[in-house]
Amino acid sequence: MSDKVFIDTNILIYAHDKDAGRKNVISATILRNLWEQGAGIISTQVLQEFYVNVTRKIAIPLSKPKAREIIESYLAWHVELNDVITLLAASEIEERHHLSFWDALVVAAASNAKADKILTEDLNHGQTIEGVRIENPFSESGRNP
């Protein structure tokens, strides 16, 4: 895997949610590979959503200090900061591709970071948006991220 890979929130959550079963195994493997290859990209939005979800919404929430520790570890990755220009770009992507604003913001951040692909289960597998390929690692055809 030599592609630059943007990780969406759901992949990050599953990788740290021991109750996520098969999705935990797949996500943890993906992240481990990205760590080894230095190819992972994430955004401030993804880290924010991760924190809220793993401390409040998963079956066995992580402690807030543990969630902060995990977030701090991801600062070693390329972290794309979502500024006002990114928000405006996301609003255009939302309109052009009929996405939710939050999904469009993920696409805008991935595009800004020059990611080759986004790993997510929230967008259409196989689609290319703003030059970034969408892959769902949990679909039968997306098993080889």
Alpha carbons 107 and 103: distance in angstroms, whole number: 6
Alpha carbons 26 and 3: distance in angstroms, whole number: 18
Residue 67 domain flag: yes
Return the pLDDT at 144.
Answer: 46
Return the pLDDT at 76.
Answer: 96
Return the pLDDT at 141.
Answer: 62
Residue 145 domain flag: no
Residue 140 CA: distances (Å) to CA of 53, 59, 135: 26, 26, 11
Residue 66 CA: distances (Å) to CA of 10, 73, 76, 83: 18, 11, 17, 27
Residue 27 domain flag: yes
DSSP labels, 54-89: HHHTSSSPPPHHHHHHHHHHGGGSEEE---HHHHHH
Return the pLDDT at 140.
Answer: 77
Residue 142 domain flag: no
Residue 144 domain flag: no
Alpha carbons 123 and 125: distance in angstroms, whole number: 6
Quote the domain boundaries for residue 92.
5-137
Residue 120 domain flag: yes
Residue 98 domain flag: yes
Count how many Cα atoms sit within 13 Å of the Cα of residue 80 in the half-sphere of its side chain: 27
22-38 pLDDT tens trace: 999 999 999 999 999 99
Helices (H), the chain: 9-16, 22-37, 44-56, 64-73, 84-97, 101-112
Q: What is the CATH number of the domain that holds 80?
A: 3.40.50.1010
The answer to whether the CB of 54 falls within 8 A of the CB of 67 is yes
Number of domains in the chain: 1
pTM beyond 0.85 = yes
Residues of the chain below pLDDT 70: 1-2, 141-145
The strand order across the sheet containing 40-43 reads 78-80, 40-43, 5-7, 117-119, 132-135, 128-129
Residue 143 domain flag: no
Return the pLDDT at 47.
Answer: 98
